[in-house]
């Protein structure tokens, strides 16, 4: 029996609507992140990149507290794509983060925890995979 991408997740994804710029090779695109976790994101797009593509991602978290939000830049790998039945029935691609620095990893975890808190989800569920050290560092 084939496992759906949603059932293979090691960390709960939280619903969001965040603009994201991403680059694949020399192509620069713009789309929306519709869910996020400590491990990755789902990008809603009608034209997903090929599985295995490495993307340079840049997005600005929503304002949390009184601090102005600074953009987060990191790499991600396309792990799966769908043309019609992604989360919420949307076409797009599932991206696993490839985090290169501890500073970026910490910022990402703070963001995921804040979103979990603001959306009424259990923050521990949102970052369970982080406790296992399974965020994919590349350095």
Largest Cα–Cα distance of the chain, in whole Å? Answer: 48
The mean of the pLDDT values for the chain is 79
Torsion of CA 73, 77, 82, 83, to 10 degrees: 60
What architecture (CATH level 2) is domain 5-131?
Answer: Beta Barrel (2.40)
Of 6-15, 22-31, 66-75, 128-137, the least confident? 128-137
Of 14-28, 31-45, 72-86, 97-111, the least confident? 72-86
Helices (runs of H) and strands (runs of E) counted in the chain? 3, 6
d(CA 22, CA 81): 16
Under the banding of pLDDT at 50, 70 and 90, the label for residue 66 is: low
d(CA 40, CA 9): 10
DSSP per-residue string spanning 49-103: PPTT-EEEEEE-PPP-TTSPPPPEEEEEEEEEEESS-SGGG--EEEEEEE---HH
Question: Looking at residue 114, what is its pLDDT?
Answer: 86
Question: Looking at residue 137, what is its pLDDT?
Answer: 33
Question: Looking at residue 40, what is its pLDDT?
Answer: 96
Q: Which residue has the higher pLDDT, 54 or 24?
A: 54
**HSE toward the beta carbon, residue 137, CA cutoff 13 A:** 11
């Amino acid at each position: 029996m084939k496992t759906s991408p949603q059932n293979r997740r090691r960390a709960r994804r939280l619903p969001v609507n965040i603009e994201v710029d991403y680059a694949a090779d020399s192509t620069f695109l713009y789309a929306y992140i519709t869910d996020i976790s400590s491990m990755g994101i789902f990008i809603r797009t009608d034209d997903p990149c090929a599985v295995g593509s490495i993307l340079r991602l840049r997005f600005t978290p929503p304002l949390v507290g009184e601090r102005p939000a600074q953009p987060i830049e990191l790499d991600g790998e396309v792990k799966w794509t769908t043309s019609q039945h992604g989360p919420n029935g949307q076409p797009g691609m599932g991206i696993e983060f490839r985090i290169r620095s501890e500073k970026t990893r910490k910022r990402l975890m703070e963001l995921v925890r804040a979103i979990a808190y603001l959306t009424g989800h259990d923050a521990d569920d949102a970052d369970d995979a982080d406790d296992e050290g399974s965020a994919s560092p590349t350095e």
